[in-house]
Chains A and B, each alone.
Chain A
């Protein structure tokens, strides 16, 4: 099976007055059709920026290198025309704040129809309108024909996110990138939205990249998980292995810092993420890692299969197995 999205040695950096911020420093991964890849990491780990970069949404100060292919189409360095064709048809993205992503002065139905008309040139306006209503129905908006005539401000947060999903899936994309899609929503509404995403993946076979800081959401939704730290993938594996037997000290630290049953005291990870203007040599996590030795300051650790996961830690094999 060929990957829906294939990324090789992707680098994203920003030129700033203070120097170059190396936000993403060479990451490789594939997303298979119909799977959910969970991407987790703290703020500044590069989890959003890598996908914004792939989608060509970063603006001019960003320098994007490496390769990202959807099917056979190379996205890094692609012309604006190619990108416009790919965005919304091959790949679509939804964001944390659906209100700022919707146009306040256009009816919701018209915005969904616009997505269809932009990519399906043989479609008539009437067909697009009818399909837009169908799409609103698919994402679980009640009375879609009436709701299609309303404006974004007449929708609740959860309903707006459903509209975003309807727009995103309008042209049956191969890949749906969901960047913190439920972070701004209440938990009972979050559960509804996650169910919509899950259903779409199952019914349409869309590959889903779920970017989130919420490890609970990842545990619920993801087939595989990729943990990012300081612009690198530090660990990757199937969801059960990542949660049951993680090998990277950072992944372990993240899981340990969560409140849980029988935990009298929480275990924070000491320190703060490094400054990406001058990333440290070797493993970027070593300053916060209890297991760091001199060896960790050497080369950038690459992902290698250790036990049940792939881990970018030179000491991974020496570390005690936890389960």
Chain B
């Protein structure tokens, strides 16, 4: 693999939350992202999956420095972003863009779609005729050039998300964070947007950080997948390897919890049921963060935090007792 586009090392993000106890205000620290490292190669898609509160969205925002990381390093094409001055960062932002989950909320209802797509060009003072570029971008995402004069409410959900993608592409980026880009769409529409993202990637040589909770879409689109739980990466590996040979009990439980659209498989399969909910990140469990819900937790798990290393599974797993039993899924 050539030089990575993005290299994240030991990224940590703490948030301070205030809560009231009687009349006193108590400040507590939530570690939303804890010691996360990942690498995205040129033209590669890395999928980031996890349940709510896992920190996957925070990673996406930190990587673009939309929020300030607490510590760690984010290198984009070899340049360190953490601590970089604002002017310099603005220049680099041309190269890195984001697409959000809800295209309706991320487009200004009072601006025409064309103006929204041209806005990054205006901000970055790109010379040349912006309306030609807007027309070109609209065609690139499968819309018509004359759609530029319309307003967001005139579009369907899938079309609006295409507008969001066109805007992200306006400055010719090399890297895009896709934060749940298809979660709000119906499946028949979702498929078209997923195809579009894949086409654009091969046409333009884009790298993606694909954040989602839908494991089947992530599997379809990603080269590498990282599974997060309470701010930490639990397991990371090539997509197929991870799905077929998941070794972390959390990954296994997650995969076995996803209902597959196959009634025969669904009625036969062995399901690993996790008890309870994700604990509060304000007070995460000691040792392994998953241990309170883990079906195979032992004493060691409470004392010693497992490192994210390859223990002979073929890919890194943050578990003292990685499992080799494959999960009975995806037999279609």
Contact = CB atoms under 8 A, between A and B. Distances in A.
A215 B187 CA distance: 9
A192 B191 CA distance: 28
Contacts of B330: 261
B263 A259 contact: no
Interface string A34-62: 00000000110000000000000000000
Contacts of A214: 259
Interface string A202-243: 000000000001111111101000000000000000011001
Interface string B157-187: 1100000000000000000000000000011
Interface in B276-316: 277-278, 293
A288 to B, nearest CB: 8
A240 B187 CA distance: 20
B191 A219 contact: no
A254 B187 contact: yes
A231 to B, nearest CB: 16
A269 interface: yes
B192 A189 contact: no
A268 B189 contact: yes
Contacts of A215: 187, 261
Interface of B: 51-52, 156-158, 186-192, 194-195, 198, 213, 215-217, 219-220, 253-254, 257-267, 271, 273-274, 277-278, 293, 330, 332
A124 interface: no
Contact of B257 (A190, A255, A257): A190
B147 to A, nearest CB: 14
Given A186-B278, A187-B257, A266-B195, A219 B263 contact: yes
Nearest to A255: B261
Contacts of A82: none
B172 to A, nearest CB: 25
Given A240-B263, A243-B262, A259-B217, A267 B51 contact: no
Interface in A147-201: 156-159, 186-192, 194-195
A219 B194 contact: no
Contact of B51 (A186, A219, A255, A266): A186
Contacts of B277: 156-159, 189
Main secondary structure of the interface of B (DSSP, over half): helix
A266 B213 CA distance: 18
A321 interface: no
A269 B188 contact: yes
B259 A266 contact: no
Contacts of B260: 216, 219-220
A267 B191 contact: yes
Contacts of A188: 51, 253-254, 257, 274, 293
A213 B259 contact: no
B238 to A, nearest CB: 15
Given A186-B213, A266-B194, A272-B156, A42 B188 contact: yes
Contacts of A266: 190-192, 194-195, 220
A81 interface: no
Contacts of A261: 330, 332
Nearest to B258: A187
27 contacts: A187-B254, A187-B258, A188-B253, A189-B51, A191-B274, A192-B274, A213-B187, A216-B258, A216-B260, A218-B261, A219-B261, A219-B263, A220-B266, A240-B264, A243-B261, A254-B188, A255-B261, A258-B216, A259-B191, A259-B219, A260-B216, A260-B261, A265-B198, A266-B191, A266-B192, A266-B194, A268-B195
Contact of A257 (B190, B258, B262): B190
A263 interface: yes
Contacts of A255: 261
A253 interface: yes
A228 B77 CA distance: 49
A108 to B, nearest CB: 16
B186 A42 contact: yes
Contacts of B219: 259
Nearest to A217: B259
A219 B267 CA distance: 9
Contacts of B52: 186
A42 B262 CA distance: 19
B273 A195 contact: yes
A146 to B, nearest CB: 15
A216 B195 contact: no
A272 B257 contact: no
Given A186-B278, A219-B260, A219-B263, A260 B332 contact: yes
A172 B186 CA distance: 34
Given A158-B277, A268-B192, A239 B263 contact: yes
